[in-house]
Amino acid sequence: MKTLKQLLAAKTGRPLAVVAPRDTVFHALTIMAQHDVGALLVLDGEQLVGMFSERDYARKIILQGKSSKETTVSEIMSDRVAYVTPGTTLDECMALMTDKHFRHLPVLTDDGSVVGMISIGDLVKETISSQQFLIDELERYIAG
Protein backbone atom coordinates (compact mmCIF):
# COMPACT_ATOMS: atom_id res chain seq x y z
CA MET A 1 0.00 0.00 0.00
CA LYS A 2 1.22 3.51 -0.79
CA THR A 3 2.26 5.90 1.91
CA LEU A 4 0.38 9.14 2.50
CA LYS A 5 3.34 10.99 1.00
CA GLN A 6 3.05 8.89 -2.21
CA LEU A 7 -0.72 9.36 -2.32
CA LEU A 8 -0.30 13.14 -2.12
CA ALA A 9 2.41 13.08 -4.80
CA ALA A 10 -0.04 11.37 -7.16
CA LYS A 11 -2.51 14.24 -6.61
CA THR A 12 -0.04 16.99 -7.60
CA GLY A 13 -1.80 17.73 -10.88
CA ARG A 14 -4.76 19.19 -9.02
CA PRO A 15 -4.37 22.55 -7.28
CA LEU A 16 -5.29 22.73 -3.62
CA ALA A 17 -8.76 24.20 -3.12
CA VAL A 18 -8.59 26.99 -0.54
CA VAL A 19 -10.46 30.09 0.61
CA ALA A 20 -9.71 32.91 3.01
CA PRO A 21 -11.69 33.47 6.22
CA ARG A 22 -13.01 36.80 4.87
CA ASP A 23 -14.42 35.23 1.67
CA THR A 24 -18.17 34.84 1.45
CA VAL A 25 -19.75 31.43 1.76
CA PHE A 26 -21.10 31.91 -1.77
CA HIS A 27 -17.52 32.35 -3.05
CA ALA A 28 -16.47 29.21 -1.16
CA LEU A 29 -19.30 27.23 -2.74
CA THR A 30 -18.19 28.48 -6.16
CA ILE A 31 -14.63 27.28 -5.49
CA MET A 32 -15.95 23.90 -4.32
CA ALA A 33 -17.96 23.53 -7.53
CA GLN A 34 -15.01 24.56 -9.72
CA HIS A 35 -12.73 22.01 -8.05
CA ASP A 36 -15.47 19.37 -7.63
CA VAL A 37 -14.67 18.93 -3.94
CA GLY A 38 -16.73 18.71 -0.76
CA ALA A 39 -14.43 20.69 1.52
CA LEU A 40 -11.97 23.56 1.42
CA LEU A 41 -8.99 24.51 3.52
CA VAL A 42 -9.37 27.97 5.03
CA LEU A 43 -6.02 29.74 4.96
CA ASP A 44 -5.09 33.10 6.41
CA GLY A 45 -2.00 33.70 4.32
CA GLU A 46 -0.12 30.41 4.62
CA GLN A 47 -1.66 29.52 8.01
CA LEU A 48 -4.45 26.91 8.24
CA VAL A 49 -7.21 28.46 10.34
CA GLY A 50 -10.13 26.17 9.53
CA MET A 51 -12.05 23.94 7.15
CA PHE A 52 -15.25 24.71 5.27
CA SER A 53 -17.38 21.79 4.12
CA GLU A 54 -20.73 20.97 2.58
CA ARG A 55 -21.79 19.93 6.07
CA ASP A 56 -20.95 23.40 7.44
CA TYR A 57 -23.04 24.95 4.68
CA ALA A 58 -26.01 22.67 5.23
CA ARG A 59 -26.08 22.99 9.01
CA LYS A 60 -25.00 26.59 9.51
CA ILE A 61 -26.43 28.42 6.49
CA ILE A 62 -29.43 26.55 5.12
CA LEU A 63 -30.86 25.32 8.42
CA GLN A 64 -30.30 28.68 10.14
CA GLY A 65 -31.75 30.70 7.28
CA LYS A 66 -28.58 32.71 6.66
CA SER A 67 -27.50 34.12 3.30
CA SER A 68 -24.46 32.59 1.62
CA LYS A 69 -23.74 35.90 -0.12
CA GLU A 70 -23.66 37.87 3.14
CA THR A 71 -22.02 35.37 5.51
CA THR A 72 -18.23 35.00 5.66
CA VAL A 73 -16.48 31.67 5.77
CA SER A 74 -14.99 32.54 9.19
CA GLU A 75 -18.49 32.76 10.68
CA ILE A 76 -19.34 29.14 9.94
CA MET A 77 -16.09 27.26 9.30
CA SER A 78 -14.85 24.53 11.59
CA ASP A 79 -11.91 26.09 13.38
CA ARG A 80 -10.86 23.05 15.39
CA VAL A 81 -9.25 21.04 12.62
CA ALA A 82 -7.85 17.55 12.97
CA TYR A 83 -4.93 16.94 10.62
CA VAL A 84 -2.33 14.37 9.72
CA THR A 85 1.32 14.56 8.67
CA PRO A 86 2.95 12.98 5.59
CA GLY A 87 4.29 10.22 7.83
CA THR A 88 0.80 9.09 8.87
CA THR A 89 -0.16 5.71 7.42
CA LEU A 90 -3.22 5.33 5.22
CA ASP A 91 -4.68 2.93 7.77
CA GLU A 92 -4.25 5.56 10.52
CA CYS A 93 -5.97 8.14 8.30
CA MET A 94 -8.84 5.76 7.60
CA ALA A 95 -9.22 4.99 11.32
CA LEU A 96 -9.26 8.68 12.26
CA MET A 97 -11.75 9.56 9.54
CA THR A 98 -14.01 6.66 10.47
CA ASP A 99 -13.84 7.35 14.21
CA LYS A 100 -14.45 11.10 13.92
CA HIS A 101 -16.83 10.97 10.92
CA PHE A 102 -14.54 13.16 8.78
CA ARG A 103 -14.50 12.98 5.01
CA HIS A 104 -11.47 15.24 4.56
CA LEU A 105 -8.17 15.70 6.39
CA PRO A 106 -5.55 18.37 5.81
CA VAL A 107 -1.96 17.19 5.67
CA LEU A 108 0.52 19.45 7.47
CA THR A 109 4.26 19.27 7.97
CA ASP A 110 5.67 19.32 11.50
CA ASP A 111 6.09 23.09 11.25
CA GLY A 112 2.41 23.57 10.31
CA SER A 113 2.85 24.13 6.57
CA VAL A 114 -0.02 22.80 4.46
CA VAL A 115 1.10 20.16 1.97
CA GLY A 116 -2.26 18.83 0.84
CA MET A 117 -5.60 17.34 1.72
CA ILE A 118 -6.90 13.80 1.46
CA SER A 119 -10.45 12.61 1.25
CA ILE A 120 -12.11 9.40 2.24
CA GLY A 121 -12.52 8.79 -1.49
CA ASP A 122 -8.75 8.97 -1.97
CA LEU A 123 -8.28 6.34 0.73
CA VAL A 124 -11.01 4.05 -0.60
CA LYS A 125 -9.59 4.22 -4.16
CA GLU A 126 -6.11 3.38 -2.89
CA THR A 127 -7.44 0.50 -0.77
CA ILE A 128 -9.32 -0.96 -3.76
CA SER A 129 -6.27 -0.54 -5.99
CA SER A 130 -4.03 -2.22 -3.43
CA GLN A 131 -6.45 -5.12 -2.98
CA GLN A 132 -6.76 -5.57 -6.76
CA PHE A 133 -2.97 -5.70 -7.05
CA LEU A 134 -2.86 -8.42 -4.36
CA ILE A 135 -5.61 -10.40 -6.10
CA ASP A 136 -3.76 -10.19 -9.42
CA GLU A 137 -0.51 -11.33 -7.82
CA LEU A 138 -2.22 -14.27 -6.10
CA GLU A 139 -3.91 -15.31 -9.33
CA ARG A 140 -0.56 -15.23 -11.15
CA TYR A 141 1.02 -17.27 -8.36
CA ILE A 142 -1.74 -19.87 -8.41
CA ALA A 143 -1.73 -20.11 -12.22
CA GLY A 144 2.10 -20.22 -12.36
CATH code for the domain of 124: 3.10.580.10
Q: What is the pLDDT of residue 1?
A: 61
Q: What is the value of pTM for the model shown?
A: 0.85
Over the Cα atoms of the chain, what is R_g?
18
**What is the domain count for the chain?**
1
**Element (H or E) spanning 95, and its range?**
helix 90-100
Task: List per-residue pLDDT tens for the chain, 144 residues long.
Answer: 677 888 888 776 678 899 999 999 999 999 999 999 999 999 999 999 999 999 999 999 988 889 999 999 999 999 999 999 999 999 999 999 999 999 999 999 999 999 999 999 999 988 888 788 878 888 888 987
For position 33, what pLDDT does the model report?
96
Element (H, E) at 91: helix 90-100
- Residues forming a β-bridge with 65: none
The number of beta carbons lying within 10 Å of the beta carbon of residue 80 is: 6
Segments forming the whole domain that contains residue 29: 4-143
Identify the bridge partners of residue 90 per DSSP, sorted by sequence position. Answer: none
